[in-house]
A and B are shown apart, each in its own frame.
Chain A
Amino acid sequence: MPGTYIPINYLPVLIILIAATLIGLAPLLIGIILRPRRPYPAKLSPYESGIPPVGEPRERFSVKFYIIAMLFVVFDVEAVFLYPWAVAYDKIGLYSFIEMMIFIYILLVGYIYAWGKGAIEWE
């Protein structure tokens, strides 16, 4: 390898990735090893509260769900940004406070816009 740069700071991320994969796979593997394997048709059919499944699982959803989902994503991401900002607040001070206020005000405009357009009303 010609490059000698090794991103050592990212080692914890790699370890978490590996640990998460292992923790996710482990129950499945343990299940396969331990459980008795006796398949029959009723057991293999998709679970639908004991009722036989009717029709295709893929349906067209009303566009209203998508709008709500999009709004949710926007304000959810806002919360994701707010947490690290709040944790690191005493180190980064006034400058970041102004930046975060700008961010929130831009989202506020989006909120007013969505409200005014009737995106929040269900009917």
Chain B
Amino acid sequence: MILSDFNLLSIRVLVPEIILICSALIILLLNLVVKRKETLAFTGLVGTLVSAYSSFKLYALSLSGSEFMGMFAFDGYSIFFKFIFYINIVLTIFISIRYISIEMASFGEYYALLLFATSGMMIMASATDLMVIYLGLELMALSTYILTGILRKQVRSGEAAIKYFLLGAFSSAFLLYGISLTYGLTGTTNLKEIAVAMETLNLLGSPVFLLGLIFFIVAFGFKIALVPFHMWAPDAYEGAPTSITAFMSVGPKAAGFAVLGRVFFEAFGSMHVQWSSILIPLSVLTMLVGSVTAIAQTNIKRMLAYSSIAHAGYALLGIITGTSEGLSSMMNYMLIYAFMNIGAFAVVIMLRSEGFMGEELSDYEGLAKTRPVASSLMLIFMFSLTGIPPTAGFIAKFYIFMSAINAGYTYLVIIAVIFSAVSAFFYLRVVMYMYMKEPKAEVVLSTSTAMNIALTVTVVSTLVIGVFPSALIELARMSLSGF
């Protein structure tokens, strides 16, 4: 073992994660003495912002290569994803404050776990070694399991957590098996060294190596809810507190895509033919099951769960292309998806008030007459999720389809566009319910300043990115330089 490579300067690439974990620990301790849980939300927010600032400062140093003996990178790719995670957690905290007091789940642990989960995602995005990927994945997953079941008094929350936990643990086993097979053949867990070992040991045709690759696809398929590994998603999304549904439909998914991109492009780059031929049917199935099953849903959280499955199918096109253009459009997709999806969930959360769940589609009947502002926000988010210009969702889909066409996957794009049209049915049905039906009862909205900030940020981002996408596209392209 070379221990001289471990120098104290290496720690600087970990500073953003260290700040997040320290804030989470502070929240855990404050939780014992502080009665007002809003203070803890504020502490979490401050911790996240300090961490984001340190990431920004580190990026200015323009470090390249991996520290800690090639285990942890701080490159443009990871920083782009880290900012998706920061946006995710900040918006989640904003939409949570009022909501979890209505659900009577104002635990300090809630915010600590959000921070722990986010630091796990950040470790995943930066990891360039399979063991570090596993470490980050478990930190993220264990925290989200608990967050899913945090409504201890509700049976369905506990049920969701158990299902999520069992299938998540199962997928972790797949990942470990894949890692052990890869390690057994190459003698390393480092992504770059795996790529080198593949050439020198001539592993391209090895069936065991291919089996390891398949295990990786299964494990990450669970995390990003690809069909047929999506079984946990609808139940977990429905049972979890709505703010956590928003959190985990964006964060863990983006983290899964970040790892998928890095592992397949860096370690298995020369096996593009093999993994893309596995991913293509998965992506078609994912779009099919996600879009078609969503039509049958009457619960809006379940509908958005299936919509999130379908979106994973579209974003997967970016990985399948195997080009850096595809990868950067996948990154754009994740960022845009974060804004529009959390926005849609924020509206769902607003409908939840004391004694009223507001989760059924019929609760949206005639909402435009009684609550015009909330309805128009929901309209924008639904248009964006469908992919209608001038919203950001259109840009996301446009660039991902274009990269797939440039890489020669025109037939896949045709399939994706067809399912996109199918998905318009269930997204626009919400709009139809709001604008073309008569209201049944007065709906009370639970608003707060924090919620208004979150809604403003999401709706402005959705529209601004939709109209002026070039800055974001350029940013994603720049992040990939040196990847």
* Chain A residues packing against B (C-beta within 8 Å): 1-5, 7, 91-92, 95, 106, 109-110, 112-113, 116-117
Contacts and interface: CB of A to CB of B under 8 A. Distances in A.
Given A2-B202, A5-B201, A106-B21, 16 more contacts: A1-B206, A2-B204, A2-B206, A3-B185, A4-B201, A5-B187, A5-B197, A7-B184, A7-B187, A92-B3, A95-B7, A109-B25, A110-B28, A113-B31, A116-B32, A117-B32
28 contacts: A1-B206, A2-B201, A2-B202, A2-B203, A2-B204, A2-B205, A2-B206, A3-B185, A3-B201, A3-B209, A4-B201, A5-B186, A5-B187, A5-B197, A7-B184, A92-B3, A95-B3, A95-B6, A95-B7, A95-B8, A106-B21, A106-B25, A109-B28, A110-B28, A112-B29, A113-B28, A113-B31, A113-B32
B203 A3 contact: yes
Contacts of B21: 106
Q: Is the interface of B mostly helix, strand, loop or mixed?
A: helix
B203 A109 contact: no
Interface string B23-34: 001001101100
A5 B197 CA distance: 9
A77 B202 CA distance: 40
Contacts of A5: 185-187, 197, 201
A50 B114 CA distance: 54
B45 to A, nearest CB: 20
Closest 9 pairs (CB-CB, A-B): A116-B32, A5-B187, A2-B206, A109-B25, A3-B185, A3-B201, A113-B28, A2-B202, A95-B6
Nearest to A117: B32
Contacts of B3: 91-92, 95
B8 A3 contact: no
Interface string B162-200: 000000000000000000000011110000000001000
A110 B7 CA distance: 28
Interface in B390-449: none
B29 A113 contact: yes
A55 B54 CA distance: 61
A108 B21 CA distance: 14
Interface residues of B, number: 22
Contacts of B25: 106, 109
Interface in B1-56: 3, 6-8, 21, 25, 28-29, 31-32
Looking at A3, A106, A112, A116, the one whose CB has the most chain B CB atoms below 10 A away is A3
Interface in B358-400: none
B106 to A, nearest CB: 15
Contacts of A116: 32
A117 B29 CA distance: 10
B449 to A, nearest CB: 30
Contacts of A110: 28
Contacts of A113: 28-29, 31-32
A28 B184 CA distance: 33
A110 B21 CA distance: 13
A57 B406 CA distance: 65
Nearest to B3: A92
Contacts of A3: 185-186, 201-203, 206, 209
A36 B305 CA distance: 64
A111 to B, nearest CB: 11
Interface in B199-236: 201-206, 209
Nearest to B24: A109
A92 B6 CA distance: 10
A4 B203 CA distance: 9
Looking at A5, A92, A106, A109, the one whose CB has the most chain B CB atoms below 10 A away is A5
A27 B184 CA distance: 33
